[in-house]
Amino acid sequence: MSDRATRRVVIAGLLGLVGAFSAPQDQTIQRAEQLTRFTLVEYHMGIDARLVVYAPSQEVAYRACEAAFKRVAELDQAMSDYRPTSELMQFCAKPRGTRVKLSADLFKVLDRSQKISVQTGGRFDCTVGPLVQLWRKARKSKTLPTAQEVRGAKRLVSYRKLHLDPRSQTAWLDRDGMKLDLGGIAKGYASDEALKTLRANGIKSALIEMGGDLVLGDAPPASAGWEVNVPNAGATMHLQNCAISSSGDTEQFVEIAGKRYSHVVDIKTGLGLSDRTQASIIAKDGFTTDPISTALTLLDIKGRDRLLRAYPGTQVFVKTARD
């Protein structure tokens, strides 16, 4: 494992779902069908990535989780907007109009992002990078960006300025200085890939938690499902083989001049959301729940209804407390 990654291992120990989710603590050894519960944590994509698995031995658990964390690290290297050497940042650094052959993972994530941009009328937009960078500075300094700064960043933002060619798996940008930000979709995709990797290594009962995203495999032995407190659902739920994501300003927010702003940037204003919206969604995979939960915080009621018609079978819980 990477020297920078921190691993903690708990045999049949604590399942503490941080951020938007919570689950009961259990400090007793749980065994069923000769499986033991293991929790492993490493730092990836800017957060603690937590894997909870049921395995017949510590060796099996370690091997499977090692492979899953390696897969997440690969995706981080492809999609990070912090690392100048990432595939995403290298693509953004190319002169406008330059066609770049992308990896299958990055192309797939950009393609899904573009489709959701169309479905949301551009409210969800991975080209929001310049505004996100501006807002990060504002959060650190606790000073709002100037109108001129926001206008300058907005000129570089539009999903219509990002082009994808599925036949050649290439992409190009219309303007120099554009920055892509996959913070609203990459963790969900990475969580799905981690679960696939665990399954390929013999682990069926697993939970992957990455920030506000939770991806579940089969239920723990002798149980009806993973016990999860989904924000705004009103009751504890027992879930398996699905994903849950929560987005909003419950955990990540800043107060500037007495007003509370979310870390999620509103493409219309160029500032963090300020309407206290929190959205949680349950669907088949994290590649769906991660971006859709973010999009739901950006849309009004009619926009949410239109978006959700494209995702039948999902469960959604939205709460808004406007200032």
Task: State the pLDDT at residue 261.
Answer: 85
Would residue 132 be called left, alpha or beta, if left means φ above 0 and alpha means ψ between -120 and 50 degrees?
A: alpha
Place of tokens 């499986």: 35
Q: Predicted confidence band at 156 (pLDDT cuts at 50, 70, 90)?
A: very high
- 182-200 in b/e burial notation, b at 16+ Cβ within 10 A? bbbbbbbbbbbbbbebbee
What is the pLDDT, as a whole number, of residue 323? 38
What DSSP assignment string belongs to 156-173?
Answer: T--GGGEEEETTTTEEEE
Task: Give the residue among 189, 209, 195, 202 at the shortest CA–CA distance from 68.
Answer: 195
Distance CA 145, CA 305 (A): 32
- The predicted-structure confidence for 68-114, as pLDDT tens digits, reads as follows 999 999 999 999 999 999 999 999 999 999 999 999 999 999 999 99
pLDDT, averaged across the chain: 89
- At 209-240, the pLDDT tens digits run 998 899 999 999 999 999 999 988 888 999 99
CA-derived radius of gyration, the chain:
20
The pLDDT, as a whole number, for residue 322 is 53
Residue percentage of the chain with pLDDT more than 90: 76
Identity of residue 245: S
CA distances for 227 relative to 131, 140, 219, 232, angstroms? 37, 36, 9, 15
Instruction: Return the percentage of the chain with pLDDT > 70, whole number.
Output: 88
Which band of pLDDT confidence, cut at 50, 70 and 90, is reported for residue 13? very low
**pLDDT bracket for residue 155 (50, 70, 90):** very high
pLDDT value at 166 more than 50: yes
Confidence of residue 10 (pLDDT cuts 50, 70, 90): very low
Query: Do residues 120 and 307 touch, judged by C-beta distance below 8 A?
Result: yes
Average pLDDT over residues 290-308: 95
Give the three-state DSSP class for 96: coil
Separation between Cα atoms, residue 19 and residue 180, nearest integer Å: 25
205 within 8 A of 252, measured Cβ to Cβ: no
- CA–CA distance, 181 with 81 (Å, rounded to integer): 6
**DSSP secondary structure letter of residue 22:** B
Q: What is the mean pLDDT of residues 57-75?
A: 98
Q: In the numeric block, which tokens belong to residue 90? A: 């290298």
Instruction: Give residue-wise pLDDT tens across range 232-254.
Output: 888 899 999 999 999 876 556 77
Q: Would the pLDDT of 316 be above 50?
A: yes
- Residue for token digits 């800043």? 254
Bridge pairing between strands 31-32 and 315-320 = unpaired
pLDDT at 31 (0 to 100): 44
To the question of pTM greater than 0.75 for the whole model, the response is yes
* Continuous H helices in the chain: 58-79, 87-92, 104-119, 129-141, 147-154, 186-200, 286-298, 301-309
Tokens read off for 19: 């951020």
